[in-house]
Chains A and B, each alone.
Chain A
């Protein structure tokens, strides 16, 4: 079982719509969860971090965490063409010196 799974294929959304991304993780003891945005040819950029169950909102981004279901999601409201990127889910497992385990990412394409 992979530590972090992002199984959805590329996501195309119209401009102004909501993009929804999902991620599951295997280590029940994980405490820290992150979403990174990566533009093509660039390095990952941290956009959201969440540490407790529930929702966390930052501008047009909302991260949702459900530790019982081992599930974390990212909503992008009012999607803009500049949101077109790959979104990487990352988790710090309970073991291992704060190292991040990454999912393979989901590509989002916002269509004007």
Chain B
């Protein structure tokens, strides 16, 4: 299994541009998540999905959109990029194991908005 994969690894956007961060998992996990991590901080949840066709907002959804048309893919869309969206973005998926749910992370996308 490739696990959770994310593309691109790095991206520089100009203010006002749009882009889609891709996330794919091959473990057939129903639950998927998008986080952002600012320097020296923990991860904050942007959006999550409990299955194909179902998404919901996390702590910091403003400026982002998601869709979940398949179990495998959970893209994150940035509309009208702003400098405040400069961050590292992690996608994760989870499944139940050992009495709880464990999340596994992709390698991340480092985004700079200038």
Q: Interface residues, chain A, CB within 8 Å of chain B?
A: 4, 6, 31-32, 34, 42-46, 49, 51, 88, 90, 92, 97-105
Neighbour of B108 across the interface among A34, A43, A45, A104, CB < 8 A: A43
Main secondary structure of the interface of B (DSSP, over half): strand
A42: chain B residues within 8 A (beta carbon): 107-108
A99: chain B residues within 8 A (beta carbon): 33, 45, 48, 58
Q: Interface residues, chain B, CB within 8 Å of chain A?
A: 31, 33, 35, 40-45, 48, 50, 56, 58, 90, 94, 98-108
Alpha-carbon gap, A44 to B90, bound state (A): 9
Total inter-chain residue pairs, C-beta < 8 Å: 59
Contact (Cβ within 8 A) A98 B94 = yes
Neighbour of B42 across the interface among A31, A32, A92, A103, CB < 8 A: A103
- 9 A–B contacts from the bound complex (CB under 8 Å): A4-B42, A6-B42, A97-B48, A98-B31, A99-B33, A100-B33, A100-B43, A103-B42, A104-B42
Neighbour of B43 across the interface among A31, A44, A45, A46, CB < 8 A: A44
Alpha-carbon gap, A97 to B54, bound state (A): 12
